[in-house]
Amino acid sequence: MRISREVTTAIASAVLGIALVFPCFAQSPGSVQLSSDEYFKINTSRGKVTCGLVDGRYLPGSLASDRSTFTPYKVLIRTLKNAIKLAIGRKRAKLLNRLGLTVSKNSVSKRQCSKGPSAADPQNTPTSGSTPRPTATPPPTQQGCFDSQGNTTKFGIPSGVSGNRNRGQTSWNSPRSPSSCQGCHISESKRNKSFSTVSNAFNQAVMSAVARPGTQELADIVAYLNSTNTNCP
């Protein structure tokens, strides 16, 4: 029995989707289980990247939402290339975009990852398994939407929490399995969103596999998305 190209493409896309979104259930041969002291995070021009210990070397890659399943970028690149060979139309375009982002992150981070934990961002210690966020503090006096440090309490941000647009940009660009916010969204298309809108977006079924940020990080992301907004209450 011959299987049509469309059916083959659909099957390949489904397998790739499961592998990228739920790597703990559909691990490729290169995925590994790591403890919290076997990976660390670094800052790059493409956002934060996780470096995981694989076969005695630290490699850049993607950490799943379970905080233990790590897939090196080189494995994701190989998986994406195989899927692109079978994909057509819009699906192929999306895969090509994902491939470009992954190749870029791998290129800018592999040398720094190879240096080991000494290259880690001080705010991302290997034993924490997550990126620490500053404790919410009352914001300084501000005029307009932001103060001179980029802090804001506008745009529906909860009382007692101050969002920072600089931290928000870092969060927007940072890996958040299976991709960064930037990997799926163009920030310009998400401008001027309120805190409740951004928070509710993580309740949608399509976002179920994405690690939900805490209140502070959400506030930072909202600040970033409103960084050019001059119309604040």
- The kind and range of the H/E element at 208 are none
| pLDDT higher than threshold 70 for residue 72 | yes
The model's pLDDT over 165-201, given as tens digits with 9 standing for 90+, comes to 999 888 888 776 455 676 677 655 678 888 998 888 8
Pairing of strands 151-152, 69-72: unpaired
Neighbours of 62 (CB within 10 A): 25
Tell me the C-alpha to C-alpha distance, in Å, between residue 229 and each of 94, 128, 154, 170, 186.
30, 35, 10, 19, 17
Helices marked H in 87-214: 89-114, 165-173, 181-184, 195-201
Predicted confidence at residue 126, as pLDDT, reads: 45
Q: Does residue 19 carry a pLDDT above 50?
A: no
Tokens 């880690």 sit on residue: 120
Percentage, residues of the chain above pLDDT 70:
70
Cβ 92 vs Cβ 100: under 8 Å: no
0.85 cut: is pTM over it? no
What is the C-alpha separation between 134 and 170, in angstroms, rounded? Answer: 14
Q: Which residues pair with 152 in a beta bridge?
A: 163
Q: Please, what is the average pLDDT of the chain?
A: 77
| Residue found by looking up tokens 């490729």 in the block | 28
| Rounded Cα–Cα distance for residues 152 and 146 (Å) | 5
- The helix (run of H) or strand (run of E) holding residue 2 is none
The model's pLDDT over 128-140, given as tens digits with 9 standing for 90+, comes to 444 555 555 554 5
